[in-house]
Structures are given as C-alpha cells and as structure tokens.
Structure 1
Amino acid sequence: MADIETIRRYDDALFSARDVETGYGDLQVLYGVDVDVQADEVVLLFGPNGAGKSTLMRALFKQLPLWDGTIEMDGQDFSALASNEMVPNGVAYVPQTENVFPNLTVGENLDIGSIHAADPEKRRETMYDLFPRLEERHGQDAETLSGGERQMLAMARALMPDPDLLLVDEPSAGLAPQLIERAFEHVDRVREAGTAVLMVEQNVKAALEVTDRAYALDVGENKFEADADTIRDSERVRDLYLGE
C-alpha cells in the first residue's frame, strides 16, 4: 500500500501552502500544515472536529493572518495578500455558513459575485448551465431557497469571476441525505468546468467519490495524504476517521 504518512509536496501544483501556522488570539490552531492542489483537481480535507480544517480554509483565503508559512498560486507568492485581493487573483471561497445574501434574489447574488468578472453576462449563462435550478429561481429571494439550492447559489456566486481555485467548506452541511450525493456531483461539475477545488467535508465516504486526493488533519497537523482510493482502502484511516 502507498505510504500515506509521508506528506508529499507537488512542485507543479496550481496552489501550494507550506508550513502554515495560525490561530485565534493567543491560541495556536495550525502547526506547519502543507496542502497542494493541482489544476483541475478536487482535493479533500478531513479529520475530527477541532482538527483545524475550517481554520486552514480561512487562513488560505487570508481571513486569518499567517503566523508562519507561505501560500503560492501559480508560482506567485500570495502570503502577503489581503483577503479582498484573493478573488481578483483567482481564488474564491464558499464558507459553511452565511454564504449567500438572503434578502437578495438569486440574480442579485450573482450580480454581486460578478464584480470581478470579465464578462458578467457570459458567466451568468455559464452558471445557469452548471446549475439549471438557479435559472428557474432567478427572481426568487435567496432566503426562500432550499438548503440544496442555497448551496448551489453560494458556489455559483463564488464562481462568477471564473476562479482557478474554489475553496469550499462543508458543501453537504445541513442537506437532506438524498441531496448529499447531488452536492458532490456539483463539486465534480465545477472541476470538469476547469476550476480546481479544495473542500472540507465531514461526510468523507461520499466526498471521496469525487475526490482525486485527500489530506487528513488532526490537532492542527498533517497526518495522512494520498489519492482517494488509497485513503478509502486504508484500514488506519477507516479506524481513526471513518468510524468503521
């Protein structure tokens, strides 16, 4: 079996985080975390509650300061960028909560997402092709959408500028069981449309169906990294993280 405990570094990655350390106030949460995402790849971050997964996503989108480490995109150092500079530089983020404007319509949410889009109308058409349900709900307030529709809208709004990388935190959170598979189908379609995806997800079994590679985080550190099949077949991962 492949060595899942050696955290490989990919020199040709689209996006790379190296030795990331951060936290909240005086509380350190991450201790030297590495993550790579290659072009057109879906990469999964998983681990127990409190492992630092969402903290890492916030740090990668520069919503938290880097205490140490570096972030690079396409060979360019993003470590000093502010959060509001990430989208114009090709990185979009869908947080787990408060990821749409509930009092605005579907179309208005997409308008806000189009601020950095080169061709807003073309991107809107692309989003409606990717998520046909949103076109049906175009004039409807986001607060009236179902959980699955809100998740589609959150992803579509983030994708409006045509980013190279989409960060998604818990895409299946709060969804009915019958909608979880569909949520990951949407993630796969985003990748097929040319945007790489890094996602945090607790439903590891379902997420691995559309994942190329995965990282396990635990107590703020990298524990395992491998392709999806190796992670799925690892007895150690199943025992520690999948409840099997």
Structure 2
Amino acid sequence: MSSADLETVPEIDDALFSARGIETGYGELQVLYGVDVDVRDDEIVLVFGPNGAGKSTLMKALYGRLPLWDGTTEIDGTDLSEVRSNRMIEHGVGFVPQTENVFPNLTVSENLDIGAIHTEDPASRRAELFELFPRLEERLEQTAETLSGGERQMLAMARALMPDPDLLFIDEPSAGLAPQLIERTFEHIARIRDDGTAVLMIEQNVNAALSVADRGYVLDMGENRFEADAETIRESERIRDLYLGK
C-alpha cells in the first residue's frame, strides 16, 4: 500500500458502526474537522495520533458525551447522532472510560450488579464473564479500591460488558498499568472481539495495541490522516517515523 493509499479513508459498506463528517469542540473551540470512522462487527479498530489530536474528544462525541456540531453516527442502520451517553447501551454500545471507570467504594459484585441493569440474565452473563476474567470471581467481595490496576481494568471492562453490547468503546486501556500487565489487557480485548463484541479503542501504546487491532486510524489536528489495516500500519515507514517513535 502506498502513502497515497494510506491517506484515503474509505467508507466500509458492511460496517456495524459508522461515523461520518464528525465535527465538534468546546465552546467556540473546534477540535474535530470532518472525522470518519467505521467498525465492522468482528473488528478491533484503533484510533491513535499525537497528543492534542482530538482522540478523546472523538470518543466523547461518538458516545454522546459531547454534542455533534455536524456529522452523523449510526449502528446497524440506527441513527445515534442525537442519542446521549446514558441511552447508548440501549442501542448496543458500551464504554470503558480511561478514569472513573469503576465505583471504588463498592465491591466487585456490586459493580457488576450496576452493569447488569440492562441485562436479562445477570447470573448467566456473570458466569460468561468470569471465564474471560477469572480473577474477578476470586475478588467478588473486595471493594474496587483494593484491586490492583490490572484488576480494576478487568472490572471496568466486565461491568461494561454485562449487558452484552455489540460494540465497546475503550479509552486508553493500558494507561497507568505496569508493563507486565499491558500484554494481558490486550489479550482480554482480543477475547472480547472473539466473543462477539466489536471494539473501538484509543491507545497511546500503539505498538501493543496493534498486536490485537485489525485496523487503525491516525488522527492528527482533528482530522483523519491515515487509515489502513494493522499490518500495513506496522510496516509503514511514514507512520512509524511520524507517530510510532521509531
């Protein structure tokens, strides 16, 4: 794939989730300028780029935490453009924010109970998630504040997965984790995809994220800069020189 191909952001016909022409910002400050993103139902899609590129703003806009100034979002043909974050799970979209993603004073069990509000069979769903995160079953009666960083991240993902969403947004899953836990975290994310939930994630540890991602978008100065499959991104000297620090 040439550099010219990398700069083309194609529209994917069989996408589960699509965002088109996303523009938004804060007050009078515009941050995003016509960003496009697609996620198929069997993909992990990575969004990365330099600090200040607008990655977290994009995640907030796509999840309804920030109003769109222009553009549209949809999942499986349903328009989400005006759906606020507290209604997203009703449309099959879950979210794991970077911070404040668990209730620290509540037990692991109580955190999962909160995640189960929109779950038809909570006990069965818990059992499925304990297969993915067995450590949580061992920690059920501990408060979240007593968990390790890796265990908290497991709990945050499990709580968001309790309603069995079609798509999970994850913001900086490796942030604050010890190096030995980062690989395990991305292994969990790969399992989430393999178990039937598509993933859109923002991550600064790009090389680690590319080990499990299927495709990636580079966001720079609030605009799409490059889009390609993960292998092409890893092999692109241009992307490596500009964004991967090698």
Q: TM-score, normalized by length of structure 1?
A: 0.99
1:40 matched to which residue of 2? 42
* 2:21 matched residue in structure 1: 19
SS of the residue aligned with 2:191? helix
User: Equivalents in 2 of 1:122, 1:37: separation in Å?
Assistant: 28
Is the Cα–Cα contact under 8 Å of residues 47 and 200 in structure 2 kept in the other structure? Answer: yes
Q: Which residue is 1:31 aligned to?
A: 33
Read off the aligned partner of 1:188 and give its amino acid letter: A
Contact 2:67 2:82 survives alignment (8 Å): no
Amino acid at match of 1:161: P
- Which runs of structure 2 are paired with 1:123-134 in the superposition (5 Å)? 123-134=125-136
Cα distance between partner residues in 1 of 2:120 and 2:56: 30
Determine whether 1:183 maps to 2:195: no
2:210 to 205, 208, 218: 208
Q: Secondary structure at the match of 1:48?
A: coil
Q: By how many angstroms is 1:43 displaced? A: 0.3
Residue identity over aligned pairs, in percent, reads: 74
Partner of 1:178: helix, strand, or coil?
helix
Task: Measure the CA separation in 1 of the matches of 2:32 and 2:120.
Answer: 36
Amino acid corresponding to residue 240 of structure 2 in structure 1: R
RMSD: 0.7
Q: Does 1:168 align with 2:174?
A: no
| Residues 1-244 of structure 1 aligned to structure 2 (within 5 Å) | 1-2=1-2, 3-244=5-246
TM-score when normalising by structure 2: 0.98
Runs of 4+ in 1 over 6 A off after TM superposition: none
Retained in 1: the 8 A contact 2:98–2:175? yes
Supply the distance in 1 between the matched residues of 2:154 and 2:56 (Cα, whole angstroms): 20
Unaligned runs of 5+ in 2: none
Determine the C-alpha separation between the residues in 2 that align with 1:105 and 1:48.
36
SS in 2 for 1:210: coil
Shift of 1:111: 0.2
What is the CA–CA distance in structure 1 between the aligned matches of 2:120 and 2:72, rounded to whole Å? Answer: 29
For this pair of structures, how many residues does the alignment match?
244
Distance 1:81 1:174 in 2: 31
Stretches of structure 1 lacking an aligned partner (at least 5 in a row): none
* Displacement after TM superposition at 1:118 (Å): 1.5
Following superposition, the deviation at residue 40 of structure 1 comes to: 1.5
Cα distance in 2 for residues equivalent to 1:118 and 1:38? 25
SS at match of 1:172: coil
**For the residues of structure 1 that align with 2:165 and 2:198, how far apart are their CA atoms?**
9
